[in-house]
Structure 1
Amino acid sequence: WITLAADNSNLALAQDTMASAENSRRIVTRQMEVGTASAGDLSDAESVYQQARASVASYRTLVAQDKNALNLLAGETVPDSLLPGTLESLGDRSITLVPAGVSSSVLLRRPDIQEAEHNLKSANADIGAARANFFPSISLTASAGVGSDSLSSLFSHGIQVWSFAPSISLPLFTGGSNLAQLRYAEAEKKGLIATYEKTIQSAFKDVADALARRETLSEQLDAQNKYVAAEQKSLNIAMKSYQAGVGDYLSVLTAQRTLWSAQATLISLQQTDLENRITLWQSLGGGAS
């Protein structure tokens, strides 16, 4: 669904690009008529226009394929009313950010943790004791979309190594004392405990990874939006200079390509933003309460 929205955005950009290239071609033709443009300029303008045409055709194909994939997933033709438009039409609130103060207890709904606990229960484990010893009870988010200090303190060396920091009020896993509290003696049951602990670590890391990406995405999107606006101004200036006979067409081409590249990057970031929001909700087990 998000991929379709992104390809709709890319198609719209390609169509705008083609229209802009066609307009540039007309301008160059007029400049040739008054002797201020060369045949090379017209050839360059034609090349850009045809490239844009090919891009439009390519994205039309991708949009059609995306719709086919959704129809296959749904088992029927999805009505147009349920299909997304462009990413811009969705807005940044189509998938809300995770709120502040989300308790780590929501992770207990994750299928992988539930499976690990089910396996422990099958071995007559005390799940309450298992959670007390291995499951950090903390707040995951400090503000909307931002990880808490408590979450960060669960890891050392960035988010690569799991470590219970002293600031977390939790029993630590040391010297096998937790295994004794869980009343496990057999080696195979120790394996279940190790799997349970590793599953919990992976769950917290999934959340930490998604929140870390969330923080950088906001800054990237803001910078990219401003970059696109700046490049649009540069193109306008280059085109006006060319039409006035004081600038060359190469400057126009360079400005066009830089702008279109910046716009494509913005679409990619917008897609990543929405996908990150989905990933974050998934890592939390599908909810925040």
Structure 2
Amino acid sequence: MIKRNFHYRLLPIAVALVLAGCSLSPDYNRPAAPVPETYPNASEGMQAENAVPAADLGWRQFFHDPQLKALIEIALNNNRDLRVAIERVEESRALYGIQQSDRFPTIGAGANASIQRMPEELRAGWASAPIVSRMYQAGVGVTAFELDLFGRVKNLTEAAYQQYLASEQARRTVHISLIAQVAEAYFRLRATELQRQIIEQTLKSRSNSYDLIKKRFDIGVAGSLDLYQAKSQLDQVRSDLQEIRRLEQQAQNALLLLLGDTPGPMLPESAPFSRDQLMAQIPVGLPSDLLTRRPDIIAAENNLLAANANIGAARAAFFPNISLTGLLGFASNAMGGLFSGSNRFWSFTPQLTMPIFGGGVSGNLDLAEARKNIAIAQYEKTIQVAFREVADALAGEATYAEQLDALRDLEESASESLRIAQLRYENGIDSFLQVQTAEVTLYNAQRLFLDTGMNSLMNRVELYKALGGGWNENTVQTDQEPSA
């Protein structure tokens, strides 16, 4: 009989252990990627299967400029946005730990004493009862431990875990973006420095032209129109020089903000400003690679998984909630004999709560399902944005080289046109207007060539970032897992 009763007592515990593995969250199926299967403007070499994925290309191998690599290292050690992202990961990890602790009982030790005096008419047994009563307790206990029969706590823990993973991917996104931002700020600064050199050379040339025409005007060979045309050309370049100085200082300030610190005087020498500062060709792979390579897409899927788990927690709220509170220890009315064998004390308090009018419970389920639908749309939108960023950068890769070749030819033609125009003016064949036109054409061609060269460099950096590149310091081989 005793054994039979013992089995009956174990039955609820066994059922609880079986049901504890239940989960009411929906089965997760990754949404289909709402983008084409291949990129436009991608050559066969860019999509080769045996190439190292762009996300595995180390930034030290992608960037060839020693000074830029030194600046990136400074930024990774000092940038404040990256520090905040790292602490966000620690915050999410702590929240996950707090939520995970609810899956296990909290066992604590404690002691309490109760001393009270009762009026005579309230004392049990009247005169025979003591005026002052005392109660001392000490022991270990479990307080309101929820039996997770329907997976509510389990799903909440899973949601917290996915949010922690999303925060880790957000840190990777900040890391990758920071490297791209430092490179772009560096190229912008280098371009403004070279623009300033072009303007200073043009200013010197036009100043010489103005002095020559002024002398010709003073002796009556040149007219006032030539003089004022030369003066207007000179004034325009003087204005451009102040503008480029301002832009150069602003570019330097932007770079310093990203670095988070002032670089020391021992920076390596910079490489010549050309497309050779970057890897010549980046393997782009297929759009499906983005799902497992781009950290913002991975983070969006983590948020979707968290929303899926929250639906399971909301569904579990429709079922009974069973919690246990228990205490095992000693109780006595005298402190001295508290821990004697005859004063053993225990209490066991199960509690069951069952929703009857579930308006709020039903609303929480509707809310969880709506948030999952939002997470699906955000996940799909993240994929679409990533696809567009890669496609835009590939469009640049397909056109910048020929554009730069054309601008290089334009600069040579404009330089030769200026030389001929100056000869014709000096020989009295043409007016100074022809020289002025040729000078403007050459000046604009030089600046446009430099701006386009800068944009081509920044476009390749954007392609590297769009493919998830920049997380690894050194290239990971194809037979290895990406480093964390």
Q: Does 1:121 align with 2:305?
A: yes
**Which amino acid in the other structure matches residue 222 of structure 1?**
D
Runs of 5+ in structure 1 lacking a partner?
125-185
| CA shift for structure 1 position 252 | 0.5
Distance 1:54 1:272 in 2: 24
| CA shift for structure 1 position 80 | 6.2
Contact 1:36–1:245 (8 Å) recurs in 2: no
Counterpart position of 1:155: none
| CA shift for structure 1 position 92 | 0.8
As a proportion of its length, which structure holds more helix? Answer: 1
Counterpart position of 2:439: 256
Q: Does 1:96 align with 2:285?
A: no
Aligned length: 228
Distance 2:268 2:206 in 1: 30
User: Among 362, 370, 388, which residue is 1:205 paired with?
Assistant: 388
Q: Does 1:9 align with 2:189?
A: no
With the length of structure 1 as denominator, give the TM-score of the two structures: 0.69
Counterpart position of 1:229: 412
1:218-249 per-position Cα deviation (integer Å, ceiling 9, x unaligned): 22111111111111111110001111222211
Counterpart position of 2:292: 108
Contact 1:107–1:203 (8 Å) recurs in 2: no
Distance 1:18 1:268 in 2: 19
Distance 1:269 1:22 in 2: 27
Q: Does 1:214 align with 2:214?
A: no
Distance 1:267 1:257 in 2: 16
User: Among 449, 457, 461, which residue is 1:266 paired with?
Assistant: 449
| CA shift for structure 1 position 54 | 2.5
Query: Does 30-39 or 113-122 show the bigger shift?
Result: 30-39
Higher RCO by CA contacts (8 Å cutoff, separation 6 or greater): 2
Query: Does 49-58 or 216-225 show the bigger shift?
Result: 49-58
- Counterparts in 2 of 1:66 and 1:191: CA distance versus 1, 3 Å: closer
| CA shift for structure 1 position 188 | 5.1
- Counterparts in 2 of 1:68 and 1:275: CA distance versus 1, 3 Å: same
Runs of 5+ in structure 2 lacking a partner?
1-185, 310-368, 479-484
Structure having the higher Rg: 2
| CA shift for structure 1 position 30 | 4.3
3-state DSSP of counterpart to 2:275: coil
Distance 1:80 1:27 in 2: 43
- Counterparts in 2 of 1:271 and 1:84: CA distance versus 1, 3 Å: farther
Q: Does 1:42 align with 2:219?
A: no
User: Among 171, 193, 203, which residue is 1:18 paired with?
Assistant: 203
**Which amino acid in the other structure matches residue 387 of structure 2?**
F
- Counterparts in 2 of 1:196 and 1:68: CA distance versus 1, 3 Å: closer
Contact 2:284–2:467 (8 Å) recurs in 1: no
| CA shift for structure 1 position 103 | 5.0
1:33-68 per-position Cα deviation (integer Å, ceiling 9, x unaligned): 664312331232223223222222222222223223
Identity %: 36
Counterpart position of 1:69: 254
1:153-209 per-position Cα deviation (integer Å, ceiling 9, x unaligned): xxxxxxxxxxxxxxxxxxxxxxxxxxxxxxxxx665455444333322322222112
**Which amino acid in the other structure matches residue 89 of structure 1?**
P
Contact 1:11–1:56 (8 Å) recurs in 2: yes
- Counterparts in 2 of 1:50 and 1:109: CA distance versus 1, 3 Å: same
Structure-to-structure mapping, 1:150-189, within 5 angstroms = 189=372
Distance 2:258 2:377 in 1: 37
**Which amino acid in the other structure matches residue 298 of structure 2?**
Q
- Counterparts in 2 of 1:188 and 1:55: CA distance versus 1, 3 Å: closer
3-state DSSP of counterpart to 2:255: helix
**Which amino acid in the other structure matches residue 60 of structure 1?**
R
3-state DSSP of counterpart to 2:382: helix
